[in-house]
């Protein structure tokens, strides 16, 4: 079955960029819905079709994608959509959500004879914009093959992870690791600052060392600039480390670091506000140390300068 009409629900910082990459692919007609209609204006001006309800959207498409800020948002949208599903539909969930919720919701979809995939993205807002984001996919392999052309239009490296729940869990794990890295980078840069090392030198030294990481190469830049702008907010990082912590408790893992992470980011949300940028957690360290980690030569926002790369399947050996 060739899917030509695609629905997209949730036009936030990341969702709007994913939706735009689908819209740029002239093989598809894009139908969009968001409770905040202001978020749809740019996409509509580029040719997207605005729907006034979930029913209208789902009745016009064969594949619909959700990219929403919380597990509750995902649950509310999906349950509201269930009455309109049929055997021709595929639901693709691209948020970072709770694996138990995902399993429960997928059963509701399957009861309607529709298909479902979880496909959380990873790699940063700048790669979501360029279409070079990575995608972790859980669900039926045949369904994965069916929608691979759509996923290819929004991402580069695409990994099929197995059954529903696997991709959601792996995404939570990767976000947890990224959040640990963010905190450790703040402390590492502060040691360099207090020692008197030039912060440009420190950045490049870490970049060419065994201590390098994707988070350092990206988030350190906006920390050193002072914008902290990665387009990801404190409430979202709290959600993600909370989901990881929930998994450690489910499997009775004595995860001391995870417990500490939850505490640190909850404190950040309380002090800085839930819509503050996640990287601004480093600002609390700067305030405590009465130091600024500013230096010249770093951008205020991250941009992926690479052209859109062809979507490829990352094969499990």
**235-266 per-position pLDDT tens digit:** 999 999 999 999 999 999 999 999 999 999 99
Asked whether residue 92 carries a pLDDT value surpassing 60, the answer given is yes
pLDDT tens track for 139-174? 999 999 999 999 999 999 999 999 999 999 999 999
For position 75, what pLDDT does the model report? 96
Asked whether residue 56 carries a pLDDT value surpassing 90, the answer given is yes
* Cβ neighbours for 226, distance < 8 A, ≥ 6 positions apart: 292, 293, 294, 300
Mean residue pLDDT across the chain: 96
For position 1, what pLDDT does the model report? 58
Asked whether residue 2 carries a pLDDT value surpassing 90, the answer given is no
Give the CATH number of domain 5-163+306-314: 3.40.50.720
Strand 121-122 to strand 115-118: parallel, antiparallel, or no bridges (unpaired)? unpaired
The dihedrals phi and psi of 73, each to the nearest 5 degrees, come to -65, -45
Span(s) in the chain for CATH 3.40.50.720: 5-163+306-314
Q: At 215, is the pLDDT very low, low, confident or very high (cuts 50, 70, 90)?
A: very high
Mean pLDDT of 118-141: 97
Q: At 99, is the pLDDT very low, low, confident or very high (cuts 50, 70, 90)?
A: very high
Percent of the chain whose predicted confidence (pLDDT) is above 90: 97
Tally the residues of the chain: 317
pLDDT tens track for 202-214? 999 999 999 999 9
Q: Which token pair is 232? A: 């990801």
- Alpha helix segments (H runs only) across the chain: 15-24, 41-45, 54-59, 71-81, 99-111, 125-130, 141-154, 166-195, 199-207, 214-225, 234-250, 256-272, 281-289
Asked whether residue 317 carries a pLDDT value surpassing 80, the answer given is no
Q: What is the DSSP-derived secondary structure letter of residue 308?
A: P
Mean pLDDT of 36-52: 94
Percent of the chain whose predicted confidence (pLDDT) is above 70: 99
Span(s) in the chain for CATH 1.10.1040.10: 169-289
* Residue where the block lists tokens 């402390």: 187
Asked whether residue 12 carries a pLDDT value surpassing 60, the answer given is yes
Q: At 137, is the pLDDT very low, low, confident or very high (cuts 50, 70, 90)?
A: very high
Q: In a 10 Å sphere around its CB, with 0-12 CB exposed, 13-18 middle and 19+ buried, how is residue 236 labelled?
A: buried
Q: Which token pair is 128? A: 């979501």
Q: In a 10 Å sphere around its CB, with 0-12 CB exposed, 13-18 middle and 19+ buried, how is residue 275 labelled?
A: exposed
For position 316, what pLDDT does the model report? 72
Mean pLDDT of 222-233: 96
Domain 169-289 is found in CATH 1.10.1040.10: yes
Q: Which token pair is 303? A: 């941009």
Enumerate the β-bridge partners of residue 136. 159
For position 68, what pLDDT does the model report? 95
């Amino acid at each position: 079955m060739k899917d030509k009409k695609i629905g997209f629900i949730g036009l936030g910082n990341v969702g709007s960029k994913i939706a735009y990459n689908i819209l740029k692919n002239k093989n598809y007609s894009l139908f969009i819905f968001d409770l905040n209609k202001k978020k749809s204006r740019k996409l509509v001006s580029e040719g997207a079709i605005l729907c006034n309800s979930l029913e209208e959207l789902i009745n016009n498409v064969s594949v619909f994608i959700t990219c929403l800020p919380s597990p509750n948002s995902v649950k509310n949208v999906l349950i509201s959509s269930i009455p309109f599903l049929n055997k021709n539909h595929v639901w693709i969930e691209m948020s970072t959500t709770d694996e138990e919720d995902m399993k429960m919701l997928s059963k509701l979809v399957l009861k309607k004879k529709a298909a479902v995939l979880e496909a959380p993205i990873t790699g940063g807002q700048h790669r979501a914009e360029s279409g070079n984001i990575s995608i972790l996919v859980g669900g039926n392999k045949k369904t994965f093959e069916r929608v691979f052309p759509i996923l290819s239009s929004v991402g580069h490296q695409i990994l099929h992870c197995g059954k529903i729940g696997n991709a959601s869990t792996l995404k939570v794990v990767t976000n947890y690791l990224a959040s640990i890295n963010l905190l450790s980078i703040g402390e590492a840069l502060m040691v360099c600052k207090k020692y008197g090392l030039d912060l440009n030198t420190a950045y490049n030294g870490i970049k060419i060392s065994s201590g390098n990481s994707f988070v350092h190469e990206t988030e350190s830049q906006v920390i050193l600039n002072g914008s902290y702008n990665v387009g990801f907010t404190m409430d979202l990082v709290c959600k993600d480390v909370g989901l990881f912590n929930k998994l450690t408790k489910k499997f009775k893992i004595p995860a001391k670091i995870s417990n500490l992470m939850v505490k640190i980011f909850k404190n950040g949300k309380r002090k800085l506000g839930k819509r503050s940028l996640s990287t601004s957690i480093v600002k609390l360290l700067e305030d405590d140390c009465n130091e600024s980690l500013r230096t010249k030569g770093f951008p205020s926002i991250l941009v992926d300068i690479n052209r859109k790369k062809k979507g490829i399947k990352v094969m499990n050996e």
